[in-house]
């Protein structure tokens, strides 16, 4: 029997969502992205849910969008299909933005591109000391449009621009220093620390948490959902260029070697 793309467990009002495609480093193909967005919506809509934890199976948190289908659509010049590919990731972002309970990213391994966006968009992020974050899209001829809408709000213009233009990966200690994650823990202590934080949040008033979250989002960026949608359009335009096709093809060939 094929395992579901997202594993869902619930204990004491804490819903844990595990991206379950470890053989692909939990890259967000349309099926996984749709399942994750639906799971977030379902958990958020359940009044019994007090906190939502997101993590990845295996050695990665999430390696961003799966690029195979994106390359096919780009080579055919099919802008609508490219937009659909990015739209699947956008749906996950929108589900996180709309989530009523606090969301916690347990960053257990690589969080790259759209996966880094998920970690950044969660209300809290706790990172393993073995994990890395990065926005490598430009290295492939792509543009991290949706991620930029989140990242620039989180760490400021100069730091964010340096990260997206170089595409370099950053270690956990730097991610904490620049404000991308709340804290770093030893790899073996990650689950226990996240469980502790989730339990602390679950003990508080759900109504107070939801109202405070909503106001914090409005103060931070009133039009973040709009900006993410505009970022999808920027990413689509970049993905249709010859540079993007060459970069993605080289990456895929190297991955299969």
For 31-70, how does the pLDDT look when each residue is reduced to its tens digit (9 = 90+)?
A: 999 999 999 999 999 999 999 999 999 999 999 988 887 8
> What's the pLDDT at 257?
64
Scored b (16 or more CB within 10 A) or e, 227-237 reads bbbebbebbbe
Interatomic CA distance for residues 53 and 200, integer angstroms = 13
Span 138-161, pLDDT tens digits: 999 999 999 888 898 889 999 999
> Residue 123: what pLDDT?
96
Per-residue pLDDT of the chain (257 residues; tens, 9 = 90+): 588 999 999 999 999 999 999 999 999 988 999 999 999 999 999 999 999 999 999 999 999 988 887 878 888 888 888 888 888 899 999 999 999 999 999 999 999 999 999 999 999 999 999 999 999 999 999 999 998 888 988 899 999 999 999 999 999 999 999 999 999 999 999 999 999 999 999 999 999 999 999 898 888 766 888 889 999 999 999 999 999 999 999 988 887 76
Ranges assigned E (strand) in the chain: 6-11, 14-19, 51-56, 60-62, 103-107, 110-112, 124-128, 132-134, 169-171, 183-185
> What is the pLDDT at residue 222?
67
* Residue of 75, 137, 162, 183 marked catalytic: 137
Burial of 92 (0-12, 13-18, 19+ CB in 10 A): buried
Alpha-carbon distance values, 90 to 8, 37, 64, 118, 171 (Å):
21, 9, 12, 10, 26
Q: Establish whether 196 is a catalytic residue.
A: no
What average pLDDT does the chain have?
A: 93
The pLDDT score that the predictor gives to residue 75 is 85
At the second CATH level, the architecture of 6-256 is Alpha-Beta Complex (3.90)
């Amino acid at each position: 029997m094929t395992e579901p793309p997202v594993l869902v467990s619930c204990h004491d009002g804490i819903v844990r969502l595990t991206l379950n495609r470890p053989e692909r480093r939990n890259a967000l193909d349309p099926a996984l992205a749709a399942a994750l967005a639906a799971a977030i919506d379902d958990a958020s809509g359940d009044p019994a849910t007090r906190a939502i934890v997101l993590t990845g199976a295996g050695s990665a948190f999430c390696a961003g969008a799966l690029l195979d289908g994106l390359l096919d659509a780009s080579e055919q010049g099919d802008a609508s299909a490219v937009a659909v590919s990015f739209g699947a990731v956008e749906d996950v972002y929108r589900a996180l933005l709309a989530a009523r309970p606090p969301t916690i990213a347990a960053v257990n391994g690589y969080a790259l591109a759209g996966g880094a966006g998920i970690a950044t968009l969660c209300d809290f992020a706790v990172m393993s000391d073995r994990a890395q974050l990065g926005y490598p899209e430009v290295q492939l001829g792509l543009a991290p449009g949706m991620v930029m809408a989140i990242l620039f709000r989180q760490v400021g213009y100069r730091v964010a621009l340096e990260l997206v233009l170089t595409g370099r990966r950053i270690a956990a200690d730097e991610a904490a220093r620049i404000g991308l994650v709340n804290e770093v823990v030893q790899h073996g202590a990650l689950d226990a620390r996240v469980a502790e934080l989730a339990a602390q949040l679950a003990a508080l008033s759900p109504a107070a948490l939801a109202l405070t979250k909503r106001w914090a989002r409005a103060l931070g960026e009133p039009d973040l959902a709009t900006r993410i949608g505009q970022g999808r359009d920027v990413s689509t335009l970049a993905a249709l260029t010859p540079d993007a096709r060459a970069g993605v093809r080289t990456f895929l060939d190297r991955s299969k070697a």
